[in-house]
Structures are given as structure tokens and as C-alpha cells.
Structure 1
């Protein structure tokens, strides 16, 4: 997605207040989709709700949008309670997974639809539509119809239709899921650049960990209707709190452990840790790229292992070692081979003591 920075920021007044979700519960009959979720999203922040299908992230987005009412709890924007405010009266717009473009309207009229429904004067409609289309570089498509557009072009039109209404908050419901991998990567970078140029609060729903890591200021990892961890991409990746977060945010080695000897006793042997664990028995995590291959197993947190399996990834190789099933990410050369004996080091600063 190419983005042209406007000379005057049309959404300068968009980032006017914090969005607060306070103890929100949502029940559908006997099913609890959200079990008391609380979040605070800063004005002008790119915030992502990340989790597997069925974790409640889309339900939470729909409550923020006003398409669903919570069974309990509140939603506030800039301090004002908007829980009961109808969707069409909130300073919030949504870009849907399907884009939801009107097939019988041209691109221009799709983008202008919200303004016309609010009876904005014709001259203002043309001015704002042309400005946002220029910003997203889709002016040349304005006379086309949705069936004449590619997936990436439809995504930009859907973005333009939402942004032309100058929302305080823009909600994105997996808008890149229909794009191929190459285009998705390009759109992610463009989306991040667009958000920074506008200063509008963006809230993205996705199950794609790479996407969340690429675009977000902060990420809320969700599971079974609960927020498990909130933090910057670096925090949730490098310092996960639970086994679920460690495994959901990329590959992770989980090592069962028992407290002892100033560190932990594990099936791999005794390991030094950055700080003693609070539990008697639990789990440690270390990312595959932090496991080091060394010439000899000297010093603390070193062991001998045997290569069980190797997968060549082009820029690197991944190997699974025994004992312990350790996963290692290493340079592609020299090539590892199954059955090879290696020495590895688990740096204590790379070992994370999980809460479970």
C-alpha cells in the first residue's frame, strides 16, 4: 500500500482521547465469549487484538464498534461512556474482512457513501473523497466498480471509505486475510505508515502473529475470552508470561523445571536463570534463535546433544535436538545433519521463567 502524506493532516483531531474497555463481559446464551476484559488504548496508538479463532477478539471489536452490546461492563472514549451509543453515532469506523464494498457503486461513490448519508454538502464530499483517495493513491480507480479491482485495491478503497469520515478510532477486522503473502507483507508496511501519518487510533484484529508484530505499537494476546498479556511486540515476544503466549508468538522451546540450586533443575540438567523462579515447579522458555551452537560444552547452561532432524529454510536452518527436543535456529552454513553431535549453550539472560 503506497501512502502519500497529506500536506495538512485531515485527521489531526482524531486522536483526542483514550479508549477504555472496562470489565466487559459478553454472553451468548450459555456461552461466555468475553469474561471480564479490561484494556486501555491510548489515543493515536496502533493496537492489535491477537489470538486464535474463537478467543473473543472479533466480539470485542464489535462491542467497541457498537454492533454488539456487552452483557456487563463499559466502553469509554475520551472519558465519555459510549456503551449504549448506536454504531452510526460513534466516532468509530470499521474496515471489515470482506471489505463490504457496494458492488453497484463506483469506487468514488463507495468512498463517498458515508458522507452522503450524513448529508455533507456536495463540494465538501468531493474535496474529502479526492483528498483521501489521493492519500491512498487510488484516484485512477475512482470510476471503476469493485469487481474490477484486485484484492489489494479493494482493501485500499475500504480504508478510504472508513477514513473519509474522519473517525477517532479505526477498527480493522482481519482486513488482510484475503491477500496473498507477498501483497499482505506490502500492505502491512503501508498500513503502519498510514497510521503514523494520520495519528488516528487503529485497532486491528488478527490471528497472524507476524502481522501483529509488524504493525503494532502494543499487542493484547487473547485466549478463551480473556486478555492473557499486553505489551509491545518486543515485550510479548521476548518476555512471554505463559506457555500459551510463548508458543503463540512464534516458535518456543518449553522446558519443564523445578526450582533448585539457585536456578532450576531440568531434564537438560541444572540451568542458571536471571532470577529464581517463584514456583516450585513450572516451565522455562527460550526462543530457538537464542540457543547457541558452541565448539565445546564449557561453563554453565551448556550440554551435548544429537541432531534429530534438520529443515533448510534458505536464510537459515532449523534443527531439533535430543535430549529434550530443543529447537535451534542457526545459520544455513555449515549445514547440520541428522545424527551429528553438537554442543549448545542456553544463555541465562535468554531463559524466561513463565508463570505456568
Structure 2
């Protein structure tokens, strides 16, 4: 498939209104507003107006907007398939027919001012390394920029993202004089989890103290950055060949949060051998047992499977086999398979029983995995900049 990275600008013809600045009208006059023929940058309507204009334009050209991801547009013409993914004013085009891609770019160029950046190498801070056998992605430059900003390029390396027994609390330690530094670093680390899955849990913990960060919280951020310095080019590997079987691993840590006693859900999903989705998130309610917390984790991965199947349909990827979630809790598997197992499930929210529904529809088939093989506890990653 030909891959293009395109940057484009377009005139926005939507009519919007803006209030006059103070002093532009005399006291006592009827309140007046400016009528703008273009949605200017920095206005709250600008992004919406821009996307409306772009989506209307590309759909007039025959593309179909995905209902699973509104920023994805696909087009089928005979044997050719083209997909467009847009983020604000940056766009990726892929397809199996270069002439169709060229025609699409020419059509967009007649309506917008676009700049073709050629083959995809760098997109939104993500470095892409394509080859005939695979595509690898990392955020090496982005990671080094964070380390440079924090002044830790020369710091000593650490082997773990976070100390296992480090229990952060919201009221222990001195408040930071400049909390914006902490918030900015954690915000950057959240974006880094796009390719660095092993830091997902650590970032999940640190993001809970954004309101009133303290010195122990910042120390953990620096600890994590010193870990990242050891392999800034570590990323993800997507092989070119393989099956399209969806399988995932889900797990839960019962009452992990020492403050709220809520459990933490973790899962990762593979399409063939490619890792495509993952999450670490605190559960919304307190679970009464490990089986209940594990069942909630399985409900989360089931919903993600459902969304991914919609997305694969838009990309014209056939997925005839049921998705397979692996869980290391046999009690959870029994609850999922047996709809009349009421004694242990009658207090669980109804939306969690989406697992039973999808099993009965044949959309998923649950399976047991030993705890020692539970990949939701340890994600596999690759350093694409390491020598081979």
C-alpha cells in the first residue's frame, strides 16, 4: 500500500459570530456582534467548522465516513481501496492504487492548499519505519525532547518505570511551587503511552495527582524519565504477514487503589501478532471479590473487541472467527459462560453482562490462561533503533 503524509490548509466558509472587543461600541447602543465569513484560528468554532468542510468535501468525492472513527474515510472503486485518516490538518492516505491516491490528492488540492510530504516517516511525534516485512513505530525524538526539557539527558539510568512498593498519596509531601511543570511532564508522558505500553500503569498513577502535585509525585516522574532514557527508541512492531484473529488478555488488580479501594483494569489486544489496543484504567465502582473485578475487566475488553470489529469492517478486513479474550480467573470464566449464576452476580451492573451476550451471539470465545502467561501484566515491545 502506498502511504502518504499530507499537510493541508483550507478556507472555512462557515458563518460564525464574534462579540466586539470592549470600547468598540458606545455606551447605550444595542449590543452588536461581528459576522465572520471565515472561522478564524483560536475561535472555539474553528475546529468544528474545519472538519465539517473537509468531511463534506471528501464525501462528495465518493468517500465513506467511518461510524467507528469519524476521522477515518474510506473509498472503494473497483479493485482499489483508499483510506484517509485526518487529525486536525494533518492527514495520512493509504491505498493499493497509486493513481487513485494521486487523483484524490489532486482533488483535495483544488479545494485546499495542501503540501504532500511523501512517504510516511514522521506523524504527530511518531516515527514510522516501514519495510517489506513490517512497520515499526516509536517516539524516540519525542522522548529525547522530554528528557532534554526536564534536564535529565545526563541522568543515571534506571531499570524499572516505577518502584513496586511506592504508594503515592495525595496529601504526603510538600506542594510544588510550580505545579505546571509536573502537569506538563505528565501530559507529555500520557501521549508517550501511544508506543510505550510498559509505562501505562505508572502514568495512570501519576495522572491522578494533577490538581495538587507534591514533591514525591515529581520524584516518581523523574524516576520514570530516567527509565525511558535507557531505550528512547523502544516502540511497536507490526508484521506485514499474519492472520487476522483478534485475541486479547485481560486482568484486574483487586482494590489496587489504596485511597478508593477500587480495582484497576488492564488489557491488551492483538490482531494476529500485532499489538493494536491496550488500556490501564481504574474501575468505576468497588468490587467485592477478585472474580467480580476480573469480570469487569473482561467486560471492558469485550466492548473494545466490538469497536475493533466495526473498525475492521470499515477497513474491509474480513474477520469471520470470534474474538478470543484470555483470562487467568476461572471463576470469571464460569460467570461469563453461565447466565444463571446469580448468587455471585446479582449485584453487578447490567452493562457488565455484555460478556454473556457476546458469548451467546458467538462474537467472542473466552479462554483460560495461566497467571504466569498473562500478557496484560507485561506488554511486549521492540526498540526499532537498536542494532540488529
Which TM class, normalised by the smaller chain length? Answer: under 0.3
Higher helix share: 2
TM-score (norm 2): 0.24
Compute the TM-score of the two structures, normalised by the length of structure 1.
0.25
The higher-RCO structure (CA 8 Å, 6+ apart) is: 1
